[in-house]
Structure 1
Amino acid sequence: MPEKVKKRHLLDYSILLPYIFMCVTGLMMVYSSTSYVAMTATNPTTAASYVINQAIFWLLSLVAITVMKTDVFRNKKFVQIAMIVILFLLIAAFFFPRRNGALGWLSIAGFSIQPAEYLKFIVIWFLSVTLSYRQKGIQQEFWKTVWRPIGIVFVYTGIMAFYPDFGNAVIIVLLAFVVLLASGLNYLYTLILGLAGIIGSMLIVLFVNLTGGKLLPAYVYSRFSSFLNPFADEYDTGHQMVNGYYAMFNGGLFGRGLGNSIQKRGFLNEAHTDYIFSIVMEELGLIPSIIILGVLFYMVGRIFLVGIRSRDPFNSMMCIGIGALFMSQIFINLGGITGLIPLTGITFPFLSQGGSSLLMLSICIGFVLNISAEEKRKQYYLNY
C-alpha cells in the first residue's frame, strides 16, 4: 500500500471534521463571550488574552495530534512516568493561589495549567495499558487483578478532593468504572459494580440531605443551596444560575445574534467557562445550539464505535474511556447550567475557554484518530 494512499484513506474524517468544527466554534464563542471584557478593559491586549491563549493551545493541540503515535503509549514505563509527573503537579497545586475557593491551578509564565484536566486522560491511559496486559487475570481473578490499579486511581482522586474539586473527582471515578466495564470482566462483576455505584450515589445524596450540606466546604455548600432554589438568593449564591437561565431564555429559536448577548455584560460572571453554552444559546439560539450538540454527539458516537469494533483490548478501552469522558463532561456541564444537577465547574468540551481542557481533549481525539487508522490498516491487510 503506497504511503500517500495510506495517510489519506486511513484518516477518520467523521471524527476529524467535527473536531475542527467544534474548535473553530469554540474560538468564536470565547472571543464573543469575552468581548465585553475587551471593551471595558484599560489594556485591550490583556483583555484579548483569553482567545489568544485558546488559539495558542489549539495550535499546540494540532501539533500533538500530528506527531503522536499510539504504539509509544503502550509502553508501561511511559505511562508510569506520566503518573509520577501528574502526581507531582497535583501536589504542587497546593502551593498556588486558590480560584473561586478551590485549589488546582498552576500559573506559570502567564499560562494557567490545571493538572486535573490531564489526569482524566492519564487515568484512562493508565488503566487501559495495565488491564490490557492482564486480560486472563480479569476473567479468572478479577479483584486480585484490579485492586492495585484502582487503588492508585482513588489515591489520586483523594488528592483532588482536598482542593476541593469534586466535579473532576467524580468524572475520574466514573471513567475508572467505565474502563473496568470495557475490560472484559465477568457479567456478575458488572452487576456488582453497578449496584455498588447506585447504592453509593444514593448514600451520598442521603448524607447531604440529612446534614443539610453543612459539612461540605463553603463553596460546595453554596452550590447545593443555589441548586435547590437559585431564586431564593438570586443576587448572591443563585446569581450565576439565575442569569444563566435568563441567557438561555433570551436566545429564543435563532438567538440575538453573535456578539449581542446581554448577560455577558457583567451579569453572568465567567461566561466564557462554565456557562459558555448559555451564551451560545443566547447569541445563536436553540436551533443552532441543537445542531452544535448534534455534531458533538455524532463525533462521540463515532469514538464509541471505533472502540466497540476494535479487537485490541488497549484500543477498545482507550476509545470507550475517551467517549465516556466526552459524554460525562457534556452532561455534567449541561445538567449544571439547566439546574438538573448542582453546578460543578466542569467546562463544556471545546467551547469553554481553557487551554488545559482543550489540549487534553485534543490529545484524546489524536489517540482515537490513530487507533481508527490502526484498525483500518489491520482490516486492509486482512482483506488483501
Structure 2
Amino acid sequence: MRRKIHYLDYHILIPHLLLVILGVILVYSASSDILLVNGFKPATYGIKQAIYAIVAFTLFGIPMFALKLNVFKSRRFVAWFLAISIFLLAFLVVLKVIKGSSAAVNGAVGWINLGFISIQPLEIAKLALVIYLAYVLNRRDGKFQKGHIWQNLSHPALLSAFMMCLVIVEPDFGGTAILFMIVLVMFSVSGVPTKIALSWLVGIALIVFLVFFIVISWNPKFLQDSYQFQRLMSFMHPFKLERKGGAQLVNSYYAIHNGGLFGVGLGNSMQKRGYLPEPYTDFILAVAAEEIGAIGAIFIVGLLFYLMWSIMEVGIHATTQFNALICFGVTTIIFTETLFNVGAVLGLLPITGVTLPFVSYGGSSMIVLTASIGLVLNVAANEKIKREAENTVA
C-alpha cells in the first residue's frame, strides 16, 4: 500500500476529488430550499452526500486501490461478484411481481430499501459486468479469428443479455443502455476485427433509430399510460406537454437561460424551489447552470471528460489486456452516464433518470463509482511499477 501511494495517478485522483467536492456543495444548494419548506434541516442531503463520499472513499475506494490486482483476476472473486449482482437484479424483478406498481419510483422498481440506505443493484451490476468481461475477454485474447468470434463471445454475450433483460423489466431503459454500451465497447476493444465491431455499432444504431421512429409515428394506445412513454413524448414536445410530463425539461431550459454565462449566484436558483423536479439528482446540472452559469456547468462537464481521458490514457498504454479492458469499461460507465444526463438536461436525449457521475445525490452511485476509480488507480499504479522495473532491468 505504501509503495503504491508513490505511484498514484493524480490526473485521475484530483479530478475525481474535485467532482465529489463540487457534488456535495451542489447537492446542498439544490436540496436545501425543498427540505426547509418540508420541515427538514436544509443541510440534510448535503451532509448525507458528504457521508456517502467519505464512506465510499475509505471503505471501497482505498481497498480497491490497495488490494493486489490479481484478486480481481481470480475466478472466485469474479464469480461471486457477478452472482451477487445478478441475485440483486433478480430480487428487484421478484419485488416488482409481488408489489407491482406500489414499489415503483418514477415508473421503475430500481431500489432495495434497507432503511438507512437504499441500494440500487444496477450500480453494482455495472462494475460487476466490467470486471467479468475484462476477466473473460482477457482469457480469450488472441482467439477472435474469423469463424471463431461467436464461439468465444457467445457465453459472455448471453450472460450480459440476461442481465440487461433483468434491468429492462424494472423497467429501466437508461440502465439497460448503459450495460449495453459496456458490452459493445469492451467487445470492440478486445480484439474483435474492426470491420465487425463497426458493423455491430452501425446495425444497432439503425435498429434503435427505426424503433424510435416507429414508436413516435405510431403513438400506440397501449403505451400512452406508460410513465416511460410519457417521458419520450415529453422529450419530443416539452412545451406542448408541460403539464403531462414536460415540466422537467421546460424548467431545465428556464434554469439554463436564467443562469446565463456566470449564473445568479450559489444558492440563488429559482427553478430548484419546487419548479424543477429532482433538482439534486437527475437535473443537478441545470441547477448548477443557473447558479454558477454556463461557464461553471462547462467546467464540471470538462472535469468529467478530463477524468475520462486520463483513464483512457492508462488503458491505451496498458501492458495487459485485463488492465486495458478495466480502464475502457470504467470510462464507458462514466461517459454513458454523462452523455445521458447532459443530453437530458439540454433536451437532446429523452429523460432516462440517469444521474451525473460523482455530482448527483446518491449513495449507491457514489460507492460504485468511487470503487471503480480505486480499481483504475490500482491499474495505473501497477502499470507504473511494471514500467519502472522494466527500465531498471534494461
Q: With the length of structure 2 as denominator, give the TM-score of the two structures.
A: 0.92
What's the CA shift string for 1:127-162, capped at 9, x where partnerless?
111110111322361110011111001111111111
- The separation in 2 between residues aligned to 1:214 and 1:336, in whole angstroms, is 25
Query: CA shift at 1:308, angstroms?
Result: 0.7
Change (3 A) 1:73 1:213: farther
- The separation in 1 between residues aligned to 2:383 and 2:343, in whole angstroms, is 35
Equivalent position amino acid for 1:72 in 2: V
Equivalent position amino acid for 1:304 in 2: M
Alignment of 1:275-294 (within 5 A): 275-294=283-302
Residue in 2 that maps onto 1:105: 111
Q: Residue 250 of structure 2: which of 224, 230, 242 is its match?
A: 242
- The separation in 2 between residues aligned to 1:213 and 1:40, in whole angstroms, is 40
Q: Residue 206 of structure 2: which of 192, 199, 210 is its match?
A: 199
Count of residue pairs the alignment pairs up: 379
Residue in 2 that maps onto 1:59: 54
Residue in 1 that maps onto 2:316: 308
Residue in 2 that maps onto 1:266: 274
Residue in 1 that maps onto 2:80: 81
Q: Residue 240 of structure 2: which of 224, 232, 235 is its match?
A: 232
- The separation in 1 between residues aligned to 2:169 and 2:287, in whole angstroms, is 31
Aligned residues of 1:255 and 1:285 also touching (Cα < 8 A): yes
Q: Secondary structure at the match of 1:231?
A: coil
Q: Residue 149 of structure 2: which of 142, 148, 155 is its match?
A: 142
Query: CA shift at 1:288, angstroms?
Result: 1.7
Aligned residues of 1:18 and 1:296 also touching (Cα < 8 A): yes
> Structure 1, unaligned stretches of length 5 or more?
none
Residue in 2 that maps onto 1:167: 174
Change (3 A) 1:90 1:56: same
TM-align CA RMSD = 1.6
What's the CA shift string for 1:77-99, capped at 9, x where partnerless?
21111121112211222426210
- The separation in 1 between residues aligned to 2:43 and 2:38, in whole angstroms, is 9
Residue in 1 that maps onto 2:37: 40
Change (3 A) 1:215 1:310: farther
- The separation in 1 between residues aligned to 2:194 and 2:86, in whole angstroms, is 33
Change (3 A) 1:215 1:171: farther
Residue in 2 that maps onto 1:117: 123
- The separation in 1 between residues aligned to 2:86 and 2:44, in whole angstroms, is 29
- The separation in 1 between residues aligned to 2:233 and 2:117, in whole angstroms, is 33
Q: With the length of structure 1 as denominator, give the TM-score of the two structures.
A: 0.95
| Runs of 4+ with >6 A deviation | none
What's the CA shift string for 1:38-76, capped at 9, x where partnerless?
3213242xx644223322221121122212223211112
Query: CA shift at 1:195, angstroms?
Result: 2.9
What's the CA shift string for 1:151-192, capped at 9, x where partnerless?
001111111111100011011111100000111112232233
- The separation in 2 between residues aligned to 1:7 and 1:358, in whole angstroms, is 23
Residue in 2 that maps onto 1:334: 342
Aligned residues of 1:214 and 1:221 also touching (Cα < 8 A): no
- The separation in 2 between residues aligned to 1:160 and 1:66, in whole angstroms, is 29
- The separation in 2 between residues aligned to 1:213 and 1:31, in whole angstroms, is 41
What's the CA shift string for 1:286-335, capped at 9, x where partnerless?
11221222222111101111101102000101101111111111111111
Identity of aligned pairs, percent? 36
Aligned residues of 1:213 and 1:224 also touching (Cα < 8 A): no
Aligned residues of 2:29 and 2:266 also touching (Cα < 8 A): yes
What's the CA shift string for 1:270-290, capped at 9, x where partnerless?
100100000000000111221
Query: CA shift at 1:213, angstroms?
Result: 5.4
Aligned residues of 1:175 and 1:325 also touching (Cα < 8 A): yes
Equivalent position amino acid for 1:10 in 2: Y
Query: CA shift at 1:196, angstroms?
Result: 2.4
Change (3 A) 1:166 1:127: same
- The separation in 2 between residues aligned to 1:248 and 1:322, in whole angstroms, is 29
